[in-house]
């Protein structure tokens, strides 16, 4: 493969990202680049257990299926057994970008990924499918299996577990089961889910289009219902000094009103004043109350294939009233 002089690729470690690690890859078109590619080889990954990929990116140009706003990036996957472009491996997805300059996550089904690729993926490729000038920042590409509400538990655990050390020892985070006894190990960050309710002030979301392909086929995602999940995040320690150090970490780590990366997608989280009944905790317990708004799909996606033509025959002899 000849290196492209029309595409530049660089790393960015200074721009905040939804995943929270502050690292992204920046790809930019610097000259006409139709059919030029950015390809990366990886150690073989078994994607069979995962129903979808989620890619989070931010581009300076919005895309769509309209002639005045065409798709400009396409994702492809390959393996040693079925490389990208080989016979039998035509899996690809056009990447939609609804808003320029905003972080968005595209969900890509793996249901039709050929088995030889899905069992041992070793190639990832972004291909320019139009000559649109663009700069795109890519945060993450993750394999996903949606699970509500444990996805939110896992996201908070990943955000807080062993991210601060006390006396040289990393502090673990733990999700407490409802009604469970308080753990005795200290120090500890305790994640306590205590309420889940329909978010009545938010509307259910109809299934939107996804999985765009070159031939026009797509999927309509199932409708989703909104929920609010409330957590009490507690700094537990043997001394006030250790507890204060953990609280200081939590203040910086938990979004007071902003994005929370959950299983490759972005949800909204915010600090909340606790309900009156929760003020009855013993005074020595230091809690931060966090509310996460999430959507749960209630139906499966539907594959939509393009219609090539529609013919209507009108009998001009028929009167208007039949």
Domain residue extents for the chain? 7-144, 150-304
Q: Which band of pLDDT confidence, cut at 50, 70 and 90, is reported for residue 314? A: low
On whether the pTM is more than 0.75, the answer is yes
Q: What tokens appear for 289 in the block?
A: 């109350």
Q: Which band of pLDDT confidence, cut at 50, 70 and 90, is reported for residue 246? A: very high
Distance CA 84, CA 40 (A): 11
CA distances 138 to 23, 73, 110, 170, Å, are 9, 12, 20, 30
Beta-strand (E) ranges in the chain? 7-12, 24-29, 37-45, 52-59, 73-79, 92-94, 104-109, 121-128, 135-144, 165-166, 169-170, 173-175, 188-198, 209-210, 218-220, 224-236, 257-262, 265-271, 286-297, 302-304
Predicted local distance difference test score (pLDDT) of residue 208: 77
* CATH architecture of the domain covering 7-144: Sandwich (2.60)
At 269-307, the pLDDT tens digits run: 999 987 765 555 555 578 899 999 998 888 777 777 766
Predicted local distance difference test score (pLDDT) of residue 306: 67
Peptide bond into 187 cis (omega under 30): yes
Distance CA 96, CA 211 (A): 9
Average pLDDT over the chain, rounded to an integer = 88
Q: Is 224 helix (H, G, I), strand (E, B) or coil?
A: strand
């Amino acid at each position: 493969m000849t290196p492209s002089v029309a595409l530049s690729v660089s790393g960015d470690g200074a721009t905040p990202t939804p995943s929270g690690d502050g690292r992204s890859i920046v790809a930019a078109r610097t000259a006409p680049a139709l059919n030029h590619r950015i390809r990366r080889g990886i150690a073989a990954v078994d994607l069979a257990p995962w129903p979808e990929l989620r890619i989070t990116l931010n581009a300076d140009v919005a895309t769509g299926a309209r002639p005045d706003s065409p798709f400009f990036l396409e994702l492809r996957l390959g393996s040693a057994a079925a490389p990208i472009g080989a016979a039998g491996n035509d899996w690809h997805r056009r990447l939609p970008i609804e808003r320029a300059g905003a972080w968005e996550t595209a969900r890509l089904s793996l249901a039709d990924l050929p088995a030889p690729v899905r069992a041992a993926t070793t190639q990832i490729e972004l291909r320019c499918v139009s000559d649109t000038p663009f700069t795109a920042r890519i945060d993450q590409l993750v394999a996903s299996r949606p699970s509500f509400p444990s996805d939110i538990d896992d996201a908070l655990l990943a955000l807080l577990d062993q991210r601060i050390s006390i006396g040289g020892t990393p502090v673990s985070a733990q999700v407490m089961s409802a009604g469970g006894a308080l753990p005795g190990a200290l120090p500890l960050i305790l994640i306590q889910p205590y309420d889940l309710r329909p978010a009545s002030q938010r509307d259910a979301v109809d299934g939107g289009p996804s999985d765009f392909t070159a031939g026009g086929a797509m999927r309509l995602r199932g409708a989703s219902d909104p929920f609010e999940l409330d957590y009490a995040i507690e700094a537990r320690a043997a001394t006030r000094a250790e507890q204060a150090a953990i609280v200081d970490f939590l203040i910086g780590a938990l979004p007071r009103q902003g994005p929370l990366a959950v299983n490759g997608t972005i949800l909204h989280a915010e600090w909340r004043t606790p309900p009156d009944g929760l003020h009855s905790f013993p005074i020595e317990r230091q809690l931060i109350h966090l509310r996460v708004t999430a959507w749960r799909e209630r139906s499966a996606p539907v594959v939509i294939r393009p219609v090539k033509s529609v013919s209507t025959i009108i009998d001009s002899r028929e009167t208007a009233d039949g």
